[in-house]
Structure 1
Amino acid sequence: MQVMGHRMSVQDTLWLHMDRPDNLMVIDCVFWTASPVTLEEARQVMQERLVDRFPTFRCRPVRSLLPGAPASWEPDPDFAIDRHVVVGRAPTADRAGLEQLLSEQRSVPLPDDRPMWVAHVVPQVEGGSAVVMRLHHAIADGIRLTQVALGLFDDDGEDVDGGRTGADAAPRTGEKPSGTRLAAGLRALADATLGRLPVAGALAGPVGELSGALADAALEQVGRTVRTAGAIAPLLSLPAEVPQSWRRPLGVGKTVVWGNPIPLDQVKAVGRRTGGTVNDVLTTWLAGALARHLTGQGDQPCPTTWLMPVNLKPFDENLPPNLGNHFTVVPLELPSGTEPLAERIAILQERTAALRDSHTATLMYAAQLVGSQTPEPLARFLADLVADRGVGVLTNVPGPRHPVFFAGARVAGMVAWAPCTARQPISVSIFSYDGQVFVGFACDDGVIPDAAALLQAFHDEVAGSLP
């Protein structure tokens, strides 16, 4: 297959340069199936649905020798699917073993002498299999990579001849995952990201127009550092309160955990009782969990600001083959978590409305885009300046509302974590799938050495809110 190289955008190049030993720019995700999937079946699906459709997955990064100039994706002459879809070696065949595998991999850099992605296939996990995928942020933003990952699935368990389902079903050779139900789910992913997260709807148009104007003008203007400082200055007034016990230096080791799924109907019932949306309830449960956990550590609960990714592109069922990053982040301040749930939700709704009506997303994107065109050390400094306004990254992804299938096996659950940067010690994943909500934490061991206790605090908060 002939693959052409292409130049990275300045934004993709920024994320390529942002790796550091204590926080890698890698998106980590895991899904597990109800019946076994073989390594060869997984490789076939990944080849057809990932590599053959998106040339970037066959390309390695080549950095420019000119300061501030974009890098390029060049075809890897030694590309082989078996270098990227490998056997995952979990110590035990259960969720604890998967968590340990993910925790170990979270701090392992992706080699840049080959395409920057890998999938670890764990053949036996509680009667099924699991796939741990790791993809560098330079390839694409989290929304697009989630869309790519969901494209690995079918929306029913039948093979191309309409025959078997489950573990014995064959992968769909050469078929694009374009079933109407799955396509509708992918569209809901993008639409819900814009509609449920702060700065949706009304800001989507202005941000898109701004991105085009800045992209056209940025390289022609001088004084990039001055312009970036001007764009970033209003962001420095954002709240940056950090719990006292989280002010330790980052380490290299990470711990990844996730809990039992929460029925979506239970979340909706709590929302009806408290006047909140599903998103409101889940987010304020996080605030309550933090308060419980910090109190248990002898620390004082406090409001915390989180950075949340926001998609800037309208949904396109046919993703561009080169993918790329088209997003910004917005800061959302959560209540301290000590308030009653209904009061907490009201506070969150007020702050969300104020954020939606502001130009924060526009400023964030301006700083991100213009800053990405400065020399690497300055770009990193400015990106860190913004990132340090939040204690961590929070993603809330609405996945498929119905069961999907990988290589004929029903997917039983999935979770994905965005990377942290600067001094952020935690990434929180909220992922809805098939009427259930999966919540997971990826924590820095040097700052939050008890990730399992934080997860337990979250489930205690949920249990305390249910009738």
Structure 2
Amino acid sequence: MTVRERVSHVDTAWLRMDRPENLMQIVGVMIFVGRIDAARLKRTLAKRLLRYRRFRQIATLDADGACWVDDADFDIDRHLRHSLLPAPSGKHELQKFVAEMASEPLNPARPRWEFNLVELADGNSALVARIHHAIADGIALIGVMNTLTDERSDAPEDDRQPTQSGANDSGDSDAGNVLWRWALAPLTDVTQGVLSVGGQLWGQYLGLRKQPGAIADYARVAAAIAEEIGRLALLPGDSQTRFKGQPGTVKRVAWSEPASLAEIKACGKLLGCSVNDTLLSCVAGALRGYLVAKGERVENTEIRVMVPVNLRAPDDAETLGNRFGLVALELPIGIANPLARLYAIRARMAALKGSYQALLTFALLGATGMAPSFVEEQVLKVLASKTTAVMTNVPGAQQARYLAGARIDQQMVWVPQAGDIGMGVSVLSYDGRVQFGLLTDKTMVDDPQNIVDRFADEFEKLLWLVLLQPVDRLADPNAVAEDLARSARGPRAAASPQSASSARAASTSRRSIASIGTKSAAS
């Protein structure tokens, strides 16, 4: 007897968002040191990945809605493939292959995931993973990947025990349904009963407590939610740049070389900014530099990115399904001064932390999963018209991990872009390093490496200012305007003969700042 399990409303929304121009699949890349043992990799996936029922189930869509159905004819060989790269089988060819995979739909008649193992000319291996967003979000998939890997190369193959989420990973929840009804109900009707149905997670998110008499002021919460609904509805479109347009089916992918997380943490700490603030500022600077190089005017330009916000409880990291909302962040591309741009982003991020946008966008996804397809189509068009990119910052393991005995050297991951959004920005930290990646539509950006290569330069500008300027002066971006032109040309230009002593001091300080970041990470 075939068992049909209802897909949650939120996951149904992701299942129905697939378009030829933008497929709803999360794309990840792992690059290993040396060749990975293909037979051991297959055994590892069979033992560890398939403990999650979702990876053995087909997602079906019909007039009655969406259901998960066990694949009676499941064969892991249909999902683990070996692919060859054209000569010379280097980074460029791998990036092209990843872009092709990002443009190729997963087979809807099978469980919607696939891993491609490829060999590189330098003697290393790479694994390209594609997993449909309806199965899980990025945070959950990072948890899944952690269960596939080990802390050392010689760990026993069967060292992992089934987890609770692996045994019961349905991820089905009507929280989106409940919260959407709550958002649409008259604000005076918001009651403790409605809040309690949302579950403990929403109580934590809203800062509510379940002790009698200790629930927060409903009127205040309701008023804040009403304000967020109005703000989202009236959100103006962001600046029109070459990053916006009608996407096609051909994608481009690029990624940077890893950067030191310790340096980024230390630099941000000295500037009074978080790691996220610092990374977002570097992304904004890279996008600005690309537009300027293409001859576009960038004065007063604002690029809006949708940033996923994890809404999971601390003990819910590995449960499959989608548990995140989105917040809209405007990147001030028009600000040339890197310090002024950083501080502007810090202020905007601080304002978003007190908002209910993430909660409401999660509810919106649940509502579109219940609504007819044409309603979902209209919602996507509205959001896409107001947005240029989707940006994720995914925290990976901070120690080296091994998959099937092979050490993972680099990791990248991209989430899909809905509607007509043509750019996905990825920042992933792993093993003490940070990697910046970009997935673009060919019709908008045919050369994403040109943007990616600017990321490190933008961080160097901030780091160089921190190394060469007094801390009290850094609080005022205008106070360092004279040095900005020199630092914008990079460390090499700054280290001119007349500033050789400063450069030597900066070199010593850079080693010190890295140690500060390392101590900060350890604590």
Secondary structure at the counterpart of residue 291 of structure 1: helix
Q: Name the CA distance, whole Å, in 2 between partners of 1:317 and 1:206.
A: 15
Question: Following the alignment from structure 2 to structure 1, what is the Cα–Cα distance between the partners of residues 341 and 103?
Answer: 35
The one-letter amino acid paired with 2:408 is V
Q: Paired residue for 2:126, among 115, 124, 130? A: 130
Q: How do 1:207-286 residues align onto structure 2 when only pairs under 5 Å count?
A: 234-286=231-283
User: Between Structure 1 and Structure 2, whose CA radius of gyration is higher?
Assistant: 2
Counterpart CA distance in 1 for 2:244 and 2:331 is: 18
Query: Greater helix percent: which structure?
Result: 2
1:365 positional shift? 2.3
Query: Could you say what secondary structure the match of 1:71 adopts?
Result: strand
Structure 2 residues without counterparts, runs of 5 or longer:
164-199, 208-225, 465-523
- Secondary structure at 1:43 match in 2: helix
What corresponds to 1:89 in structure 2?
84
Partner of 2:425: 428
1:233-382 matches, cutoff 5 A? 234-301=231-298, 302-316=301-315, 319-320=318-319, 323-336=320-333, 338-382=335-379
Closer, same or farther: CA 59–125 of 1 in aligned 2, 3 Å: farther
RMSD in angstroms over aligned alpha carbons? 2.5
Q: Can you give the 5+ residue segments of structure 1 that lack an aligned partner in the other structure? A: 161-171, 179-202, 211-228
Question: Does 327-336 or 286-295 show the bigger shift?
Answer: 327-336
**Residues 1:46 and 2:42 are matched in the alignment:** no
Q: How many residues align?
A: 407
Separation (CA, whole Å) in 2 of partners of 1:387 and 1:50: 34
Range that drifts further, 342-351 or 252-261 = 342-351
Shift of 1:23: 0.5
**1:127 Cα deviation after fit:** 2.3
Counterparts of 1:419-458 in structure 2 under 5 Å? 419-458=416-455
Q: What is the Cα deviation at residue 207 of structure 1?
A: 7.6
Give, in angstroms, the shift of residue 234 of structure 1.
3.4
1:18 aligns with 2:17: yes
Distance in 2 between the 1:46 and 1:120 partners?
A: 13
Structure-2 residue corresponding to 1:57 = 55
CA distance in 2, matches of 1:204, 1:300: 44
For 1:337 and 1:466, the matched residues in 2 are separated by: 21
- Greater alpha carbon shift after TM alignment, 138-147 vs 251-260: 138-147
Cα distance, 1:105–1:62 mapped onto 2, change above 3 Å: same
Separation (CA, whole Å) in 1 of partners of 2:23 and 2:204: 27
Task: Please give the residue correspondences for 1:382-401 in structure 2 after superposition, counting only pairs within 5 Å.
Answer: 382-401=379-398
Aligned to 1:215: none
Question: How far is the alpha carbon of 1:3 from its aligned partner?
Answer: 9.3
Counterparts of 2:143 and 2:444 in 1: how far apart (Å)? Answer: 32
- Tell me the secondary structure at the aligned position of residue 382 of structure 1: helix
Whether the aligned pair in 1 keeps the contact of 2:7 and 2:67 (CA below 8 Å) is yes
1:109-258 map, 5 Å? 109-124=105-120, 126-160=122-156, 172-173=157-158, 175-176=160-161, 205-206=202-203, 234-258=231-255
Contact 2:40 2:404 in 1 (8 A): yes
Checking the alignment, whether the CA contact within 8 Å between 1:30 and 1:132 is kept in structure 2 is yes
Distance 1:397 1:143 in 2: 7
Give TM-score, length-normalised by structure 2.
0.73
The 1:383/1:288 distance shift into structure 2, 3 A limit, reads same
* TM-score normalised according to structure 1 size: 0.82
CA distance in structure 2 between the partners assigned to 1:245 and 1:89 by the alignment = 34
Distance 1:415 1:337 in 2: 28
For residues 420-445 of structure 1, give each alpha carbon's deviation from its aligned partner in whole angstroms, at most 9, with x where no partner exists: 01111100110011111111100000
